[in-house]
A and B are shown apart, each in its own frame.
Chain A
């Protein structure tokens, strides 16, 4: 049983397209996150939801829109994709003490 699962694992698309990444956790955690990891492995938080409420919204272009239909799911929709959006996107969840449980990542390539 995968604790935090994201789909798809790979996403190759053209500039200007719209795409979504889905994330589900079966750990019963209240808090979920989206991170972006660039080609130099730098990991930056984008969004966080706690009990379906947006609590962290970093300086991210408004082309990125998270949605949390329930505590176990956090999806990321990206409009008008740009070359600079190419990265690995990680979903994570946490409970007490902010220990993060990561998904395997979605590698997005924008051509």
Chain B
């Protein structure tokens, strides 16, 4: 069985500050890991994905995440927050063995203060 835990339902940063959104996963098989972003009244969009290539993954809008197997973590970071980054962020896991199910975390709402 797979699961995802996002630490912190709300994160608030100042514009220009580091963004760190935490995600831990559980999977009995090699996982695919994803971060998605959801802006108000929109569907989710893929930010980045880990699919067993490089452990440091770069995504859109300056975000990146590092896969750490020993810590079962896949935290999302961005060096400098912009106001436009304010949104809901979801970490997700699925398995590489051909299963179709993707499990989403509960989401972290990112607030960016001017």
Contact = CB atoms under 8 A, between A and B. Distances in A.
Contacts, number: 58
A22 B107 CA distance: 26
A97 B100 contact: no
Contacts of A31: 100
Interface in A30-45: 31, 40-45
Q: How large is the interface on A (under 10, 10 to 19, 20 to 34, 35 or more residues)?
A: 20 to 34
A44 B101 CA distance: 10
Interface residues of B, number: 25
Dominant secondary structure at the A interface: strand
Given A48-B100, A92-B43, 10 more contacts: A40-B106, A42-B107, A43-B44, A44-B104, A45-B102, A50-B100, A94-B102, A98-B100, A102-B43, A102-B45
